[in-house]
Structure 1
């Protein structure tokens, strides 16, 4: 075995070997590549989880604009003072002259809601569900107490309700996120794999063609195929094309000035800050005060609000959002031209950036440019298609599907009669069971075997009781409470709601479990992706195992620091969260490593598909698994993401009661993946040995 370093040192002057400076530079480069394996995923995962937990772990209204109109100015001002006095920081009250003006402000989204007072003792609350379902609920929650306290009769009117084909308003949200993904993802891959494509005269027409292709595809999936988005085709296509082109133009400029680090800045503005500030999933008035400001100029908000304006509000207000995208594209392209001119002046002979990712596949760099470019395009193309089709397809129509609820009565016969009556009107929505034991039903709710228990009145309790479990899933608790309030009303029964495990103030939406679990899963696959691109030599199993093990020990501790002391989303539970996080992160690394052996860096596509695009809808975190298609209920029991989410939920709210089975899920995925990698490496090594010519070697060691 030759000691290369010694040999090069002893080269005579004028020899062909590398110089000491070249060797030192090579060593520094190798060290830098290994450092990148840890630094890049740390920044990407840490940035995303910090941003999401900070913004969305406990949303509460802040300066939410609400208009008030009355039959007289005095009446309107009196109510406005009462509304502001209840919670001055929550609302920004505007008194307007007429009911029509209040309605117009709601429809133009200048206010989140409005209250119109009449001299007949009624108060009408105007909201626009299409402007945000969560925002409408918050408005009602803010204005209802002072209305009732004033002795007024409350009526609610949704001026722009969401349609039945998109009852949660997720169609526009996922469409906007797909457009953002298509805009910022390709540029960084081009820089590493085919930097010649980034020359200005080549990239601008390429980006325009890409925008048309992917923008049309996004519209096709969200509209005609899934039916989640309906609107004027030409306008929706134009918004889609412009959104991708604008984001791609800005990302081109960032790539010019930041190189490979541009992907971090793009992710920061498009995803980490952009998604919360978009006003699509959650009202910006329920987030920290910086987000309404960011909403005015970030591209995710501009694209999403443009789509929303066209789909739900007849195009009202679309001009301002399109202007943001146009200005962003023009300024970014002009700045890119300026940077290119400055670089040419400094170094007229400078060539393209160095290729750092020769091939996206396990084999050598393709000799054919056509094959390489097609592979390059396939990567973001597949990511956009998978994200939009799977996640939007799973979540845009969240209706109960066989949601398990137990009906409890004094006798089994009475419970069965009630179930028979309910099933006539709610067939397929609930899996209704019967019981004559309140304690048994309460135990099933606590153990998450059922979503709720509907207890009929008895001699001991003259009212009906709905036993729920908010910490088991807020979306399913809200659905079952809303439905059985109507059931009790139809039976003319007073209803008492018993929430066995309320969510704490640090997790009012129940999404902390998802974000912590997402951090573990992202940490696991990102370290493989970055290692495969930055330092392929590290992907040898004997080198990667200690890397992934050390990373698995380190990253869950970092995520706990983010979740607890930094954002306050979690209170304690360090050791159990750290322990399960180690297992989850290491397992995900092994799974991604196995996929990397098969597909090279294209392993990102199946890895993200399995872990995120399938995992999130099946996780029971963002949405109840009983409100997604039936296939996701099966996936909930086998995928790593649901195991991670349910482990976090069990640790935070239920004393770790179900962590064991989820650890078994991780163990199976990790063991199978590791055994596959070992077998794959041995088979590949054997084939290489057979293919190598036999060379007679001297036993002498040099």
Structure 2
């Protein structure tokens, strides 16, 4: 009988079937990472950007029609009665900019908000400058809600939320990995969720203090950012625990897929939502990084306006993760008890 070569035997010991599956999973995640980030960010184009038009009724109607007919639909224009209304809608996050036409002259005004994303503000300026040039008009730009000078490219909100999300799924993963392969019991799951509450409170406060009083990188209420951070960390941590309860250690990969691979490029950080391709623009608001980034920018620059929806999304992840994690642990506990009873009853 032929003996296996020492090298093949060594390979089998070094690379077990379990390790092979894990490596295959990591390879798949890495390729998905590349696909998601490059797919979302490689070719930014404005699509249906909500903007206002302020002008006399006849001029406003003609301008709205002209903007609506632009190739590929970069803008979603609507007529507004006056510049004050346009400013108020920008602050309320209903629109991203507004063109204020001067019927008595040849120089119009573009209202933008770099607080909502510097890249999008520059994109709107480029689009409207080109349009004005075709009409032999000039344009001046007014930043209604400017980004803080210390908030380079308006990315601090995004990086803050990414840090919170990473802390959430890593802490939840460590809690599970540290106990080995043992299935989570209801008591163990409850303890982990309570521990995540403490972690979330500390991480939320730490992040808010770092970007606010310590570095001065982001304006806005430190207390409000603390609350947002605590909710974000707990939401991601609870969801991670739920995934791990359902599918074991593979739940860590699921958390990375949702939060990092799908969530980060669609969050509206590097590129605000109107510049993202359809798939990423659609899923971003429903995932923790996107909801957190939108809420953080609202707190920092827009007096908290239009943040309710994002907070509800994060709350849904937090509540859903908690319920699924506890319910799964309870059901599996009952299954183990039933198996023990049947084994004991077997003669």
**Could you tell me the TM-score, scaled by structure 1's length?**
0.45
| Alignment partners' CA distance in 2, 1:444 and 1:565 | 29
1:509 aligned counterpart, secondary structure: helix
The match for 1:404 is 50
Give, in angstroms, the shift of residue 633 of structure 1.
2.6
**In structure 1, what is the Cα distance between the partners aligned to 2:38 and 2:291?**
22
1:466 alignment partner, one of 104, 110, 129: 110
Number of equivalent positions: 333
The corresponding residue for 2:4 is: none
**3-state SS of 2:289 partner:** helix
Contact 2:48 2:75 in 1 (8 A): yes
- SS of the residue 1:486 aligns to: helix
Contact 1:538 1:544 (8 Å CA) reproduced? no
Structure 2 counterpart SS, 1:428 = coil
Task: Give the counterpart of 1:419 among 21, 41, 64.
Answer: 64
Quote how far apart the aligned CAs of 1:472 are.
0.8
Aligned-residue offset at 1:420: 2.8
| Superposition pairs of residues 125-144 of structure 1, within 5 angstroms | none
Q: State whether residues 219 and 301 of structure 2, in contact with CA within 8 Å, keep that contact through their aligned partners in structure 1.
A: no
Q: Tell me, what secondary structure is at the counterpart of 1:618?
A: coil
- The Cα shift of 1:582 comes to 1.0
Among 666, 670, 678, the alignment partner of 2:326 is: 678
User: Deviation digits for residues 31-62 of structure 1, max 9, x if unmatched?
Assistant: xxxxxxxxxxxxxxxxxxxxxxxxxxxxxxxx
* Displacement after TM superposition at 1:371 (Å): 2.8
Shift of the 550–407 alpha-carbon distance from structure 1 to 2, 3 Å rule, reads same
**Aligned partner (choices 530, 536, 544) of residue 174 of structure 2:** 530
For the pair 1:499 / 2:147, whether they are aligned, the reply is: no
Query: Residue 570 of structure 1 aligns with which residue?
Result: 218
Structure 2 counterpart of 1:433: 78
Pairing of 1:649-660 with structure 2 (within 5 A): 649-660=297-308
Which residue number corresponds to residue 243 of structure 2? 595
Q: Residue 617 of structure 1 contacts residue 625 of structure 1 at CA under 8 Å; is this kept in 2?
A: no
Q: Does the 8 A contact of 1:513 with 1:648 survive in 2?
A: yes
Secondary structure at the counterpart of residue 246 of structure 2: helix
Whole-angstrom CA distance in 2 between matches of 1:643 and 1:405: 22
Kindly report which structure 2 residues correspond to 1:505-654, keeping only aligned pairs within 5 A, or say none.
505-536=149-180, 540-564=188-212, 566-571=214-219, 573-654=221-302
Equivalence map 1:390-401=2 (5 Å): 390-401=36-47
Alignment of 1:93-492 (within 5 A): 370-411=16-57, 413-459=58-104, 463-492=107-136
- The answer as to whether partners of 2:90 and 2:97 remain within 8 angstroms in 1 is yes
Question: C-alpha root-mean-square deviation of aligned residues, in Å?
Answer: 2.6
Quote the Cα distance in structure 2 between the aligned partners of 1:622 and 1:480.
16
Structure number with higher relative contact order (C-alpha < 8 Å, ≥ 6 residues apart): 2
Asked if the contact 1:520/1:556 (under 8 Å) is kept, the reply is yes
SS of the residue corresponding to residue 421 of structure 1 reads helix
How big is the shift at 1:471?
Answer: 0.2
Q: Residues 377 and 670 (structure 1 numbering): CA distance in 2 closer, same or farther, change over 3 Å?
A: same
Distance 2:219 2:112 in 1: 23
CA distance in 1, matches of 2:193, 2:72: 51
SS in 2 for 1:614: helix
Question: Relative to structure 1, is the Cα distance of residues 440 and 568 closer, same or farther in structure 2, using a 3 angstrom cutoff?
Answer: closer
**Cα distance, 1:517 vs. partner?**
0.7
SS at match of 2:196: helix
1:438 CA displacement = 2.4
How far apart are 1:404 and its partner, in Å?
1.7
Q: Which runs of 5+ in 2 are unaligned?
A: 1-6
- Whether contact under 8 Å (1:415, 1:436) holds in the other structure is no
Q: How does 1:47-86 map to 2 (within 5 A)?
A: none
Q: Give 3-state SS (helix, strand or coil) of 2:152's partner.
A: coil
Deviation at 1:542, TM superposition (A): 2.5
Offset of 1:463 from its aligned partner?
Answer: 2.1
Deviations 1:548-602 (A, max 9, x none): 1111111122223432455442357321111111111111111011111122222
Q: Is the Cα contact below 8 Å between 1:620 and 1:642 reproduced in 2?
A: yes
In structure 1, stretches of 5+ residues that fail to align are: 1-198, 207-351, 353-368, 697-702
**Per-residue deviation, residues 624-679 of structure 1 (Å, max 9, x unmatched):** 11111222232233211111111211121122223333221111111122111222
Q: Is the 8 A contact 2:93 2:305 kept in 1?
A: no
Counterpart contact for 2:267–2:285, Cα < 8 Å: no
